[in-house]
Amino acid sequence: MPEGVDAALYRQVVGRFATGVAIVTTVVDGVDHAMTVNAFTSVSLEPLLVLFCAEKIARFHDVVLGSELWGVSVLTSDMQDASQWFATRGRTLDGQLEGWPYKRGAATGAAIFTGAVAALECRTHAVHEAGDHTIVVGEVLSLDVPDPEGTALVYYEGRYRTIT
């Protein structure tokens, strides 16, 4: 941390930027992998690119980099439990998707949550080192709006919120 910059204040300041909440998924050798992210954004219209950030120590990190195909489900306000579950470190991989309705993405085979407000399927386009995270840029292969009436789940000041 740079001299004079307080880590707690840093977290407070960046926490004032409201973010959507999404779950990124991939499947490798028939095993599903998933991770909650709030560092997800559109990058480019030509070509269609998005990005998410993965913490290097997360189990999901190496798996998604190796698979190169992944899905993104942008969560609805009633999916806070899913967000918390897929953010839990060390949870078992066996049956981790049980109880969360999803379908397989046609382009990637990744789990796409059927209650999401938006969904994308991507192929890794570029990877950039960024401190203790990796920025994963994906070329968009497929788009969907599973729940067009849903309200987005938002994270702001360390708490879940909804847009009304």
List pLDDT tens digits, range 108-164: 999 999 999 999 999 999 999 999 999 999 999 999 999 999 999 999 999 999 887
Provide the CATH number for the domain formed by 7-162 in this structure: 2.30.110.10
Domain boundaries, the chain: 7-162
Predicted confidence at residue 1, as pLDDT, reads: 61
CA 28 to chain CA centroid, Å, is: 17
Predicted confidence at residue 163, as pLDDT, reads: 80
pLDDT tens figures, 4-56: 789 889 889 998 999 999 999 999 999 999 999 999 999 999 999 999 999 99
Is residue 72 within 8 Å of 50, Cβ to Cβ?
yes
Q: Give the number of other CB atoms < 10 A from CB of residue 59.
A: 14
Is residue 113 within 8 Å of 79, Cβ to Cβ?
yes
Work out whether strand 69-74 and strand 22-28 pair parallel, antiparallel, or are unpaired: antiparallel
As given in the structure block, the two tokens for residue 60 are 């999901």
C-alpha gyration radius of the chain: 16
Omega of the bond prior to 2 within 30 degrees of 0, cis?
Answer: no
- E-assigned strand segments in the chain: 19-20, 22-28, 31-37, 40-45, 48-55, 69-74, 102-104, 111-113, 118-130, 133-144, 153-156, 159-162
Residues present in the chain in total: 164
d(CA 152, CA 71): 17
**For the whole model, what pTM was predicted?**
0.94
Tell me the mean pLDDT in the region 58-75: 97
Is residue 7 within 8 Å of 1, Cβ to Cβ?
yes
